[in-house]
Amino acid sequence: MKSVEIKYTNLFINNEFVPAKSGKTFEVINPATLEKLADVAEAEEADVDSAVLAARKAFHRNSAWRKLDPSGRSQLINKLADLIERDQEILSTIETMEVGKPLIESKYSVGLAVQVLRHYAAWCDKFFGETCPAPGNLISMTRKEPVGVVGQIIPWNGPITMLGWKWGPALAAGCTIVLKPAEDTPLGALHIASLVLEAGFPPGVINVVPGYGRTAGAAIASHMDINKVAFTGSIPTGKLIMAAAANSNLKRVTLELGGKSPLVVCEDFDLDKAAEISYRGIFANAGQICVAPSRVFVHESIHDAFLEKLVAKAKSRKVGNPLETGIEQGPQVNEAMFKRVINYIEIGKTEGAKLVAGGKPLDKKGYFIEPTVFADVTDSMRIAKEEIFGPVLCVLKYKTMDEVIDRANNTHFGLASGILTNDINKAMTYASAIESGLVWVNGYMSMSLSSPFGGYKQSGIGRELGRYGLENYLETKTITINISPAI
């Protein structure tokens, strides 16, 4: 078991690490040991103002950042990716200590951030305007320009991955950034801020302001000099951010807000594979993943056999300190999430669902909960309707494809979904009819960085990744030229 030294705990504004103007700090706790990792500077409105001012200066038309050609931006983004990759061991250990996810998952998260940054480094010179048909002596054309200063608020469950997803397209477009990491997990972002300095980004291009949502987050959402805000997190907070954006300067908003994702297991699919896919999908990162398949619909003809295999896997899962070798599941990120999950487990039992695996906290220091499986779940139960965001799986029976599609769609969420079948007709029927932004067939959570990521309904607005994510950071300007006729 190992840990790393925490070197960076101050705000990062205008290429300098500085304390909060108020002098306030907040504690960051390791959820596996309940030990304090660091005291981190707490940004408030005045600090956000300073960060926005630095970002605004860096975005000025005559700034070093704006004068960089696309290849220059690409080189800087690639340099940052190289430095993150160099420090992958440090960063993955920090993420494991902050979030509580096993080290192998944290290494994947850091690696994914590197891939996304490199992906967008290649986009810097690949977005174009166009000429448009125009009458008479007019020439009409469009020009793609960066939207401006962007505020980005990222969650605690995958902080380094989400940093890459947010920074990549913003930097490729030529925007400047004010990032607020979650208060539970600011340390990885602050370490990467030191790499921004090492990479040679001009002052003010990237700023990192750890703090609480009610202060720093609210200041970003309502700031009159921020042109766009991007947020990943809960629906209630997303609604507050959207309202604040509307009530301030009507800034652009993109939101990714979680889900209650269905996975349909058909009778023609291999049971061992189905149990493995379901198991890995729901219990990764202790169930703290927005796309986790928390509702698994199983055809009635194979339900009992499937459930037996799934329960055996859940009961054998190794839960403990995620820095230890062989651990498959760590703790919930904090006490509030721990209590939330335990409360939902009690709700499930009270509602009449059958607890067939787990359901208890571990008798050890830290916020550990057993992998939990409920059977005999009905659609009307709260555990089947509400996002738990923990290691809790609801297994439901179904009879027909029409029935299961309607039941899967009966939710205000619409982020992700999946189907396991060897019948292409069933697969395409489901994929076409399901109301979600992501559909996986015969797998779950596989990724293509060129493909858009985002949700239907209350699971979000806008898309991330690929050219779809880039478009959210670009304005389209129309230029019309009146050509005088030759004399």
CATH code, 423:
3.40.309.10
Is pLDDT above 80 for 3?
Answer: no
Residue 323: its pLDDT value, please? 95
Picking from 225, 257, 289, the residue at the C-terminal end of a domain is 257
Q: Looking at residues 208-212, what average pLDDT do you find?
A: 98
Is pLDDT above 80 for 302?
Answer: yes
Q: Looking at residues 427-432, what average pLDDT do you find?
A: 98
Is pLDDT above 90 for 152?
Answer: yes
Number of domains in the chain: 2
pLDDT band at 270 (very low <50, low <70, confident <90, very high): very high
Could you tell me the residue range of the domain that residue 84 belongs to? 11-257
Q: Looking at residues 392-402, what average pLDDT do you find?
A: 98
Q: What is the pLDDT of residues 340-365, one digit of tens each?
A: 999 999 999 999 999 999 999 999 89
Is pLDDT above 60 for 1?
Answer: no
Which tokens hold the place of 417?
A: 């979904």
43 located within any domain: yes
Residue 453: its pLDDT value, please? 97
371 and 225 in a single domain? The answer is no
227 and 293 in a single domain? The answer is no
219 located within any domain: yes
Picking from 423, 441, 459, the residue at the C-terminal end of a domain is 441
250 and 321 in a single domain? The answer is no
163 and 311 in a single domain? The answer is no
486 located within any domain: no
65 and 206 in a single domain? The answer is yes
Mean pLDDT, the chain, integer: 97
53 and 147 in a single domain? The answer is yes
239 and 274 in a single domain? The answer is no
476 located within any domain: no
477 located within any domain: no
Closest CA relative to residue 459, chosen from 248, 292, 227, 211: 292
289 and 327 in a single domain? The answer is yes
1 located within any domain: no
Active site residues: 256
What residue type is assigned to position 75 of the chain?
A: Q
Percent of the chain with pLDDT strictly greater than 70: 99
126 located within any domain: yes
238 and 306 in a single domain? The answer is no
113 and 156 in a single domain? The answer is yes
291 and 179 in a single domain? The answer is no
Q: Looking at residues 450-469, what average pLDDT do you find?
A: 96
User: Domain holding 197: CATH number?
Assistant: 3.40.605.10
3-state secondary structure the chain: CCCCCCCCCCEEECCEEECCCCCCEEEEECCCCCCEEEEEECCCHHHHHHHHHHHHHHHCCCCHHHHCCHHHHHHHHHHHHHHHHHCHHHHHHHHHHHHCCCHHHHHHHHHHHHHHHHHHHCCCCCCCCCEECCCCCEEEEEEEEECCEEEEECCCCCHHHHHHHHHHHHHHHCCEEEEECCCCCCHHHHHHHHHHHHHCCCCCCEEECCCCHHHHHHHHHHCCCCCEEEEECCHHHHHHHHHHHHHCCCCEEEEECCCCCEEEECCCCCHHHHHHHHHHHHHHHHHCCCCCCCEEEEECCCHHHHHHHHHHHHHHCCECCCCCCCCCECCCCCHHHHHHHHHHHHHHHHHCCEEEECCCECCCCCCCECCEEEECCCCCCHHHHCCCCCCEEEEEEECCHHHHHHHHHCCCCCCEEEEECCCHHHHHHHHHHCCCCEEEECCCCCCCCCCCECCCHHHEECCECHHHHHHCCEEEEEEEEECCCCC
376 located within any domain: yes
Is pLDDT above 70 for 11?
Answer: yes
Q: What is the pLDDT of residues 218-244, one digit of tens each?
A: 999 999 999 999 999 999 999 999 999
Picking from 233, 257, 281, the residue at the C-terminal end of a domain is 257
Residue 285: its pLDDT value, please? 97
312 and 221 in a single domain? The answer is no
